[in-house]
Structure 1
Amino acid sequence: TGEPSALEEQRGPLPLNKTLFLGYAFLLTMATTSDKLASRSKLPDGPTGSSEEEEAYCNHPSQSGLNALPSSPFAFYGHLLEQTHVEEFLEIPPFNKQYTESQLRAGAGYILEDFNEAQCNTAYQCLLIADQHCRTRKYFLCLASGIP
């Protein structure tokens, strides 16, 4: 009927170009429950430590003169980003590996079930897709081989 499904609304449509990913090989992996718990325990509760230079500038913005400015033009923005609530960045829907595979296959992408260096070398480009940093065998083998 032309109405996008809920998955298409969240994840995007299947590619219209049937050769979009032709020549690309993909390795998909997902974080285990222990990976996800480890990541959540590392999330900062508040602002993380910053350099003394940033602290001085952000705590005393009324100071004048060049000595009051941080050496990096982006230091102030980094401090602002540190204060942003982490929850705002966690509103991403959970990774749907099966739908991602269907999108890649619809665009002629090749899905490798296991890491295979020979198959990766024959592809135009081999890419790893993961929902976060993982401790899976596939993830570590891709990192060790330099697969982005």
Structure 2
Amino acid sequence: MVGPKTKTLKARFTSLFNNKNNRAINRTKIMSKIEEYKSELVRIQDIAILDTVDLVERANGCDKETKVGRGDAFWLYKSANQTLAIAARIEQLIENRNKTQAITTTEEEEEEEKQKEAEAEKLLLSVRKELTKRKKVTKKDGKES
């Protein structure tokens, strides 16, 4: 039995996946939602895996000698395949989120390093200007360094 909380989560995720416009924006929305619902996704993944095991056990218990038994087994295996696909998709979403966090961290570190280099270069230019000014002043005074 599906509870009201599960239905609202399902509606939220399906609405995120159904919009095909602005894929980059949607990917960002999805990734932020994934972070918010990560524990819920893991719980749903565990349920899907347990359901898969249960469905396969039921399919193995079907009488495959009769047409009805083979049909039941077929639909049970098909359902098990779909629930396992859901669990795998959740795993992919979580892994992709972890990869994008690592990439974002690396990009931020590179950006900070570039900013530090730019600040150092500005400082170096100001020091050079000051040195050239001092050299000009000393040359005018007749003193050379």
TM-score in terms of structure 2 length: 0.30
Which structure has the larger Rg over C-alpha atoms?
2
Q: Which one has a larger percent strand, Structure 1 or Structure 2?
A: 1
TM-score in terms of structure 1 length: 0.30
Bigger relative contact order (CA 8 A; separation at least 6): 1
